[in-house]
Chains A and B, each alone.
Chain A
Amino acid sequence: MLRVTKLRYGFPIGLLLFFYLDGILGAAFPKQLFNYPYTMSSYLVVLWLVYSIYFEDQITIPLGIWAAVAGGLFDLYYTGIFGIFVFVFPIVVALTRACYKAFPINFLSGLLVYFIDITVVCALSYFGNLVVHLTSASFADMLVYSLAPTLAYNLAAYVILYFPVQWLFNRLKN
């Protein structure tokens, strides 16, 4: 079904754009995003994947594979440690799909699901970095200095972009 709509171009372009924005926003506004000791990690690429699940309707995009590709690029290009996000992104997609089946998704319940998604991404990336000794931060530090600001940033992005992206998906589907 993906083949017949404009989404076949729109979805990958959006995914790549959000992927690059994650890194570029961090470089362009470091004072705002990385205000020591608080660090906000931008996961806009996850936001795009989650939006795709909410707005795809009958068109089933092979999101698991796209998530793994985006995760692989994220690992190689941004972190340099392959093997964390390449698994975390598909897990998030599976989780969101499960939630989508369990209850109706609207703006507010979608926000809560995205809250859970970001928490999962943060926690798993923290444990991944912990086991390969790239960080020695304690779990409590992670909650206060990393998870809380990251949630604030990403949920704000969700609220701001929800309606524009919904409009965009509706345009691309027809």
Chain B
Amino acid sequence: MNKFFSNRRLVIVIVCLIVSFGLMSVSVAIRNKRSTPPLIQQFGNDVVGLVNRVVAWPVNGVKGSVTAVSDLLNTYQENQRLKSQIQELAQTKVHDQALTQQNTKLKKELKLSHTLTDYTAVNATVIARTPSSWQDQVIIDKGSAAGIKKNMPVLSGSGLVGRVSEVNRTNSKIELLSNSSESANRFAVQITNKSGSTVNGIVTGFDSNKNRIEMGNITSKTKIEKGDKVMTSGLGGIMPAGLLVGTVTATGTDNYGLASKVTIKPAADISNLSYVTVAVRQSQTTN
């Protein structure tokens, strides 16, 4: 041991430790403050991402054939379930169309161009996932060239799954809702109950044991029930309103018994992502 920690080696180890901590804190600071990473990092990530797509191609081929078999086995049950849903969907779709038309007409009369609910969708493919337990993060194949900016919300299938955390030219990183870091999943959301009154709040955490989103610090006395829908409120930042987050599964008080806490079942399957949609809000705010 004495021999291992000779003077020179000890100095090298300590210098390495200091450099490591320094680099980590600098990159975290850059990540929190700037909208894009430094140019060299962006360029490197773009090049690495390009080759990633080439390597991913055969792997996805294998995966495709595996899922094809399992899909085939589930076809009958799925067909039954979908048939019952499709009746309802057709009606909703027509109704939705009528409402959209009415909405645009009314907006025109009020001379409103874009409201908080308007967004354009950018579709992207997930090309890699961070192999780490501490950052639930995926990498998608669209970047600033497709109009993606940092902090934009990301949807998959029926609901919100996370937000953009780093943007390069041709790829970007998405922090998932399940990320346990302190800044990852703070979304401004609102719950509308059966009688029509809304409660505003912020997503405060994720319970990975039960796969549930937690929403805390609610001081409103409005009654929230199981099954109420939770959606983004569009307040603050570049998040559009009306993106489905999930449904309420339980309500209660937080650990101190002061504010109430709502447990939400995510609408999208966060652990299984292949294609995602980035929602680009059209109405701009000054912040």
Contacts and interface: CB of A to CB of B under 8 A. Distances in A.
Given A31-B272, A76-B45, A77-B44, A22 B16 contact: no
18 contacts: A17-B55, A20-B52, A26-B131, A30-B129, A41-B133, A73-B44, A76-B41, A77-B45, A77-B128, A78-B130, A80-B165, A81-B24, A81-B27, A82-B27, A83-B22, A83-B24, A129-B134, A135-B135
A136 interface: yes
A158 B211 CA distance: 31
B55 A36 contact: no
A132 B25 contact: yes
Given A23-B52, A129-B134, A136-B180, A37 B209 contact: yes
B221 to A, nearest CB: 31
Contacts of A78: 128, 130-132, 137, 139
Contacts of B59: 21, 24-25, 28
Interface of B: 16, 19-28, 31, 37, 41, 44-45, 48-49, 51-52, 55-56, 59-60, 62-63, 126-139, 165-166, 173, 178, 180-182, 208-209, 211, 271-274
| Interface SS, A side | helix
A162 interface: no
Contacts of B22: 83
Contacts of A73: 44, 48
Contacts of B20: 83-84, 86-87, 128
Interface of A: 16-17, 20-31, 33-37, 39, 41-43, 73, 76-84, 86-87, 122, 125-126, 128-129, 131-137, 142, 145-146, 150
A80 B131 contact: no
A136 B185 CA distance: 14
Contact of B129 (A26, A125, A128): A26
